[in-house]
A and B are shown apart, each in its own frame.
Chain A
Amino acid sequence: MQIEREATGSDLVLKVSGRLDTPNAKPFEQSLLAAVAETSGRITVDLAGVDYVSSSGLRALLVAGKAMRAAKRELALRALQPQIREVFDISGFSTLFEIT
Chain B
Amino acid sequence: MTAPSDPSIVSSLAIGASVEEIARVSEWLNEMADGDDWPDRLRFGMELSVEEALANVISYGFAHVPHAPEIRIDYLHLPDTRVAVRIADNGTAFDPTAVVSPDMAEDVEGARIGGHGVRLMRHFLDDISYERADGENRLTLVARLGTAE
Binding site for B on A (CB under 8 A): 21-23, 52, 54-56, 58-59, 62-63, 65-66, 68-69, 83, 87, 90-93, 95-97
Interface size band for B: 20 to 34
How far, in whole Å, are A66 and B111 apart by their CA atoms in the complex? 9
Cβ of B12 to closest chain A Cβ, rounded Å: 21
How far, in whole Å, are A31 and B58 apart by their CA atoms in the complex? 24
Cβ of B106 to closest chain A Cβ, rounded Å: 7
How far, in whole Å, are A96 and B108 apart by their CA atoms in the complex? 5
A54-B48, A55-B120, A87-B48 known; A22+B55 contact, CB < 8 A: yes
Binding site for A on B (CB under 8 A): 19-20, 22-23, 26, 41, 44, 47-48, 51-52, 54-55, 104-109, 111, 113-114, 116-117, 119-120, 123
Closest to A54 in B: B51
Can you list 17 A-B pairs with a CB-CB distance of less than 8 A?
Answer: A21-B22, A21-B23, A21-B51, A23-B20, A23-B22, A52-B48, A54-B51, A54-B117, A55-B114, A55-B116, A59-B114, A66-B108, A90-B119, A91-B116, A95-B104, A96-B111, A97-B108
